Amino acid sequence: MSTSNSFDFILIGGGIVGTATAYKLSLKYPNKSIAIVEKEPTLASHQTGRNSGVIHSGIYYKPGSLKAENCRIGREQLVEFSKKYNIAHRICGKMIVATNEFEAQVLDQIFENGRKNKTPGIKYINADEIQEIEPFIRGVKAVWVPSAGIIDYVEVVEKFSQLVLNSNDNNRLFLDEKVIDLNRSNNHIYVVTNKQTIKARKVIVCAGIFSDRLAKLDNVNLDMQIVGFRGDYYELLEHAKHKVNHLVYPVPDPKYPFLGVHYTPMTGGEVECGPNAVFTFKREGYAKTSFNLRDSLEALSYRGTLRLFAKNWKKGIEEYRRAFSKRLFVKELKRMMPSISESDVIATRSGVRAQAVGVQGQMIDDFKIVRNNGLTHVINAPSPAATACMAIADEIIKDLG
């Protein structure tokens, strides 16, 4: 197809999963036309551009899960792609630090997951070795993960988009266009935006935190709903940057899919600390006081959210207190770095994570892709989706054509 409003494939969502999928489609079907539709004026405006920028190793994830497989394969593809196109990245390695004996036991399970997931080069290090690698970090035991690193995911998205547009003169990028309806007629899917209607035989929706709403537009019967969790970041000031040289993570609480407040040296030279995880009253609300009536009512009237809160209210209150208190945030950072002080850090940015929650209040931990009569919906793509983006794209397009 080559008319101005007709394409072979339409990708809804200009984040890293959407653009990676468009890129993989352009490689597989170079003669077919592709459109990317993004509601913001720029690509990668939300989860992609507001995460920690970490290249994950795959050590945490349940062996055999889509997360584990796609992270392992995707990391290899992402690093190769970044080398080929000179994307800013660094394989700096990561340590996961246990600060007490309970955490050391959880760490053993993480190590076993890593072994089963074929995470390369992982090894235990003791308290003295922790300090040799990171002099300001304290722990009883850690796992060293040499394959983890950092990357500029916005730069990756921009390169994906550029390569898609260069691969075929009929390919298009539509920015600042919000999808408001999805219809079917005569073997075509019509994507209605606030500016125009375009059509294709195959449409892939990678809408991140709004994936459930677009699925409902397509009459997909979901057993989950997306709930937003805001994460706040601090940054080490110039005089304290020397305190962190590699990625430093705590042992995560096994009851939650969040990895905990960690230290991240970024590609631009900054060193970030965070994020925490608090329920947000606006799906794309990055300020502590952000509020949207529809988003709040939708989340708080959903049985799954209420059950999640009922089961985890103590943890929720603890996270909220930390979100509004620099002192408590730094107290959490001190668990691994006792010498850090409030004068070492400054509050910087925040991000919102799209977390699928089931009707029983359980956090859906794995990726979820739903195919519905020519439309493919990526419903749940939590971390490590950025690392795994190219492998997820392969999964999405394997049955398309």
Residue-wise DSSP of 21-88: HHHHHHHH-TTS-EEEE-SSSSSS-STGGGS--EE--S-SSPTTSHHHHHHHHHHHHHHHHHHHTT--
> pLDDT value at position 254?
75
In the chain, where the domains are located: 6-48+154-223+365-397, 227-245+261-358
CA distance linking residue 147 with residue 271, whole number of Å: 19
The token pair that represents 55 in the structure block:
């290249």
Q: Are 202 and 376 contacting, i.e. CB atoms less than 8 angstroms apart?
A: yes
pLDDT at 286: 96
Question: Looking at residue 401, what is its pLDDT?
Answer: 64
Are 339 and 353 within 8 A, CB to CB?
no
Average of per-residue pLDDT across 346-361: 95
Helix/strand/coil for 367: coil
pLDDT score, position 2: 40
- pLDDT tens for 117-164 read 999 999 999 999 999 999 999 999 999 999 999 999 999 999 999 999
Distance CA 121, CA 40 (A): 40
Asked if the model's pLDDT at residue 364 lies above 80, the reply is: yes
pLDDT at 69 over 60: yes
Token digits of residue 184: 């079917």
Q: What is the mean pLDDT of residues 63-85?
A: 94
Question: Looking at the predicted structure, is the pLDDT value of residue 288 above 70?
Answer: yes
Which tens digits make up the pLDDT trace of 186-228? 899 999 999 999 999 999 999 999 999 999 999 999 999 999 9
| Percentage of residues of the chain with pLDDT beyond 70 | 98
At 1, is the pLDDT very low, low, confident or very high (cuts 50, 70, 90)?
very low
**Rounded mean pLDDT of 381-387?**
91
- Asked if pLDDT for residue 374 goes beyond 60, the answer is yes
- Token pair 């409003």: residue: 5
Q: What is the CATH number that goes with domain 6-48+154-223+365-397?
A: 3.50.50.60
pLDDT (0 to 100) of residue 260: 83
pLDDT reported for residue 258: 67
The predicted structure's pLDDT at residue 185: 92
Q: Is the pTM of this model over 0.85?
A: yes
Per-residue pLDDT band for 257 (boundaries 50, 70, 90) equals low
In the numeric block, which tokens belong to residue 47? 């989860």
Query: What's the mean pLDDT in 249-260?
Result: 80
pLDDT of residue 255: 73
